[in-house]
Chains A and B, each alone.
Chain A
Amino acid sequence: MNIPLFKRLHAEGLISGKALEQAEAHEGHRLFSLFRELRLLLYLGVLLLTGGLGIVVYKNIDTIGHQAILAFIALITSGSFYYCLRKKNGFSWEKVEAPNSFFDYILLLGCLSLLIFLGYWQYQYDIFGDNYRLATFIPMVILFASAYYFDHLGVLSLAVTNLAAWAGLSITPLTLIKENSFADPRLIFTGILLGSVLLASGRLSAQRRIKAHFETTYTNFGLHLFFVASLAGLFIYDTVFLLWFAVLAVIAFFMCVQGIRRRSFYFVLMIVLYTYIGLCYTVLRLLWKGLQGDTIAPGLLWLGLSAFGVAVLLIRLNRKIHSHDSL
C-alpha cells in the first residue's frame, strides 16, 4: 500500500478516515511472507525425489521385479485416495473448497500414480489384452468420477485428455497438432464431434449449475479441438473448401456471439484468430486459382491489410465487451 497516495485520496475526500487507518495498519505491520518460496522448494524437492527414485527403479528393474514395483505404486495410489476420502469437505454440485493446501496435490498424486499403475500393468501383463479402448476407458471413468467427487480442475483436465485418448486423439496443448495425423478423415470428424461434445458439456455445466466452474476447462479443450480439426478439414477437402469455410464461419460467428455475451475475451480472441487462419487460407487459395500462380504481391497485400483489419476488429470487440481484465 502506498500510504502517501492514500493520504492524498483521504484529503480529496475519496476515501474515509477508517480506510486510511486500515491501509496504514496494513502497511505498518505487513509480514514478509515466504509462502511461495517455501512451496516452490517443497515442490522442487518432491520433483527431485520422485525423479531420482524413478531412475533408481529403472536401473534396477531386473533385481526389484515388476510385482514389487506395481505393489509400491498401488500403495501410493491407495494411500493418496484414502487420505483424500478421509479429509474431503463433503460433496456438492457447487464449488467445494479444498480442506487444506496439500489436499489438491495429494489427489493429483493419487490420480497420476493410478494412471501409471494401469499403464504399467497393461504394458507388462496385458490385463486388457488387445482391447486398448478399455485400457483408456477405465482410467477415464475413474478420473471423471474423482474430478467431480473431489472437485479438482487439474484432474478434470486429465479426464478430458483421457476421454480424447479413448476416442483416438491426443489433445494436450503440445501434442494436439504434432501427434495427430489430421490427414485421416476419420480423425477430423472425431475431433469435430468430440470438440462439439466438450463445448456442449461446458454449456450444460454452466446452465444446469452442475459444477459450473468446470465450464472454462470444457470450453477451452472443446474450442481448440473443434477449430484445429475443422481447419484440418478445410485444408484437406480442397474440392469443397469454400463450402467448408462458409459453415465454419457461421459456427464461429455464433460462438463469438456467445463469447461476447459471456464477456470472455480469451474465447473471443481464440475464435477470431482461428477463423482468421481459415479466412487467409481460403482467400490465398482463391487468389492462387484466379491469378494462375502470380500471387506473392497480392497475397502480401491481402495479409497485411487483413491483419490490420483483424487487429482493429479485436480492439472494437474488446471495447464492446469492456470486461474487467480477466479471462
Chain B
Amino acid sequence: MIAYKALYLDNREVREQADKALSKNIITQEESDRIYGAYPYNLYTPNLFIRVGLFLLTVLALLCCLGLCMLASAGNDRSMGSLFIFFGLLSYGALELFIHVRGICRAGIDDALLWVAGLMIAIGVNILADHIGPLMQSTMVLVLALIGFVRYADRLMAVVAFAALLCLIFYRLGESGIGRALLPFAVMGVSVALYLLFTRLSVLSRLRFYHSGLIVLRVAALLSFYAAGNYYVVREANTFTTHQQGQIALGFLWWTLTGLVPVLYIVRGIHKKDLVFLWTGLGLVAGAVFTVRYYYHILPAELAMIIGGCILIAGAWSLIRWLHEPKFGLTSADLDNPAILEGLPVEGMILAESFRPVAGGVDKGVHFGGGTSGGGGAGGGY
C-alpha cells in the first residue's frame, strides 16, 4: 500500500527512538551506534531546509516543463485539458520512479511531485468538463487526496481528504430542506464516528506508517465536531444554503455547544493526558471567545483584553506554582529538558517510583504507537 520501503521506515522509527533515549541518557552513545549499525536507513531524507529548497526547485522545474508542453500544444480547451491530465499522470509516474529508483523519502521532491500531480489532474478535469458541480468536485478532490494519503502517507493530503469529505456531506445535505435541518447533527455524527475510527486505527501496528497522519486527522475530526455546533458556523452555513439571513432555530443549543465544547475538550485532555484534546481545546477557546464577541459587545475591546489578560496571567502563574511539585501525575516542569529537571523534586519522585515493581512499565507497553504516552514530542509538532 505505501510507496516507501516499509523496512526502512521501520528502521527510521527505531533510530528515532534511539535518538530520544540517547538524549535522555537512557542508552549510551555506544549502544546508539550499535543500533544505527543494526538498523540501516538508505532512503534520502534531508532536513527541513533542504526539503523546502528541493520542493521549490522541483515545482519550478515542473512548471517550466508544463510551460514548454503548453507552447507545443494546439491551444484549444480539449488539448489543454488532456495535457494537464497527462502531465499529472506523468508526475505520478515520476514520483514512483524517484521513490523506487532514487530512494527519496520526504525530500521535497516527492512532496512537490505529489501535489503538482494532484493539482494538474484536478485542473485538467475542470478544463475538460464544461461545468462540474460541487458534489463531483469534492468527490474528485477526496479521491486524489486519499491516494496521496494512503500511498504516500502525506499528512496534509489527509487533511485535504477530510475537508473534501465534509464538503461532500455539506453539499449533499444542503440540497434538500430536511437535509439542511439535519446538517449540523450529521456533521457532528460523522465527526464522532470518524474520530473513534481514527483512534482505533492509530493503535494498529499494521497502520504504523500512518500514525502521525491519523493524529492530524483526529485533530481535524475534533475541530469539525466543534465547527458543526458553533453558533457562527451554523448561522453562516444556514445563510449559505438557504440564501436567507436571520435568526436560526435552536439558538440556545448552538450557544451552549460553542461555549461548552472547548472546555470539555480541555478537561478530557487533562484527565486522559491526551495532547490532541488539550491543544485542540486550548485553540478552540479562542474560537469561542471570538464567536461571542462577534454577536455581543459586552465590554469595550481593550477592557476585555485587560481583564482576560489578567485572568490568564493569574491563572497560568498560579497553576505553574501549584504544579511545581507534581500533582495527579501532572507537572508544570519541562520534562523534555533534562537540565531543568535536575533542580526539581520531580527527579527524586521518579527515582523513588522507579523502585516500584516494573509491572506498570510493561503495562504501558501496549501503547505501541499509541497516541498519548509516546506523544510528548508528537503532539506539539503540528
- Do A and B pair up? The answer is yes
Q: Which residues of A contact B (CB under 8 A)?
A: 1-7, 9, 12, 14-16, 19, 21-42, 44-53, 55-56, 59, 101, 265-266, 269, 272-273, 296-297, 300-301, 303-305, 307-308, 310-311, 314-315, 318, 325-326
> CA separation between A266 and B356, bound complex, in Å?
47
Determine the distance from Cα of A33 to Cα of B337 in the docked complex, in whole angstroms: 11
Complex contact A15–B309 (CB within 8 A): no
Residue of B nearest to A29 (CB): B353
What are 22 A-B pairs at a CB distance below 8 A?
A2-B365, A6-B17, A16-B31, A26-B24, A26-B350, A31-B333, A31-B350, A32-B331, A33-B334, A36-B380, A38-B316, A45-B312, A45-B315, A51-B309, A55-B301, A56-B302, A301-B68, A304-B60, A310-B57, A314-B54, A315-B107, A325-B47
Contacts of A59 in B (CB 8 A): 302
User: Does B374 reach chain A (CB closer than 8 Å)?
Assistant: yes
> In the complex where A24-B362, A307-B58 touch, is A47 in contact with B309 (Cβ < 8 A)?
yes
Measured CB to CB, the closest approach of chain A to B306, in angstroms, equals 4
Given contacts A3-B361, A33-B334, contact A300 B71 (CB under 8 A): yes
Residue of B nearest to A49 (CB): B309
Chain A CB within 8 A of B40 CB: no
Chain B residues 246 to 280 lying within 8 A of chain A, measured CB to CB, are 270, 273, 278-279
Bound-complex Cα distance A300 to B63 (A): 9
| B310-335 contacts to A (CB < 8 Å) | 310-317, 319-320, 323, 326, 329-335
Is B361's CB under 8 angstroms from A300's CB? no
Q: B interface, how many residues as a size bin? A: 35 or more
User: Does B373 count as interface, using CB distance less than 8 angstroms?
Assistant: yes
Partner of B316, one of A3, A31, A41, A53: A41
* Contact A31:B346 (CB < 8 A) given known A2-B374, A300-B64, A307-B64: yes
* A33, B319: Cα distance in complex, Å: 12
Q: Is B14 an interface residue (CB 8 A)?
A: yes
B residues within 8 A CB of A273? 53, 56
Chain A residues lying within 8 Å of B316, measured Cβ to Cβ, are 38-39, 41-42, 45
Q: In the complex, A36 Cα to B335 Cα: how many Å?
A: 10
Looking at chain A's contact residues, the main secondary structure is: helix
Q: How far is the CB of B39 from chain A (nearest CB, A)?
A: 9
Q: Is B196 an interface residue (CB 8 A)?
A: no
B169: min CB distance to chain A, Å: 32
- Is B35 part of the contact surface with A, judged by Cβ < 8 Å? yes
Query: Which residues of B222-256 have CB atoms within 8 Å of chain A's CB atoms?
Result: none
CB-defined contacts of B67 to chain A, threshold 8 Å: 296, 300
A32, B330: Cβ atoms closer than 8 Å: yes
Measured in the bound complex, the distance between the Cα atoms of B362 and A28 in whole Å is: 8
Q: Are A14 and B31 in contact (CB under 8 A)?
A: yes
Q: With A28-B361, A30-B373, A38-B320 known to touch, is A304 a contact of B380 (CB < 8 Å)?
A: no
Residue in B57, B71, B315, B350 whose beta carbon sits within 8 Å of that of A29 in the complex: B350
Structural contact, B35 and A42, CB atoms closer than 8 A: no
Q: Could you tell me the distance in whole angstroms from the C-beta of B63 to the nearest C-beta in chain A?
A: 8
Q: With a 10 A CB-CB cut-off, give which of A14, A304, A325 has the most chain B CB atoms.
A: A14
- Cβ of A27 and Cβ of B319 under 8 Å apart? no
B116 to A: closest C-beta gap in Å: 13
Which one of A25, A49, A314 lies within 8 Å of B354 (CB-CB)?
A: A25
Smallest CB separation, A279 vs chain B (Å) = 13
With contacts A24-B358, A30-B335, A33-B376 taken as known, whether A19 is within 8 angstroms of B21 at the C-beta atoms is yes
Q: Is A52 in contact with B326, judged by CB distance below 8 angstroms?
A: no
Closest residue of B by beta carbon distance from A57: B302
The residue on A at minimum CB distance from B334 is A35
Given A49-B310, A269-B49: A307 and B380 interface contact (C-beta under 8 Å): no
Is there an interface contact between B312 and A42, defined as CB atoms closer than 8 Å?
yes
B354 and chain A: residue at smallest CB distance:
A25
A7 to B361, CA, bound (A): 12
17 more contacts with CB within 8 A, not counting A31-B350, A33-B333, are A9-B35, A19-B21, A23-B26, A30-B376, A31-B333, A34-B332, A39-B316, A41-B282, A46-B309, A48-B305, A52-B306, A269-B49, A297-B71, A303-B60, A304-B61, A305-B61, A326-B47
